[in-house]
Amino acid sequence: MPTVGVADLKDGDFLLDVREDDEWQAGHAEGALHIPLSEFVARYGEFTEAAPQDGRVHVICRSGGRSAQVAMYLVQQGIDAVNVDGGMQVWAAEGRPVVDAEGEPGVVL
Residues with a known catalytic role: 61
- Listing from the earlier edge strand, what are the strands of the sheet with 57-60? 3-5, 81-85, 57-60, 14-17, 33-34
Residue 15's CB: how many other CB atoms inside 10 A?
19
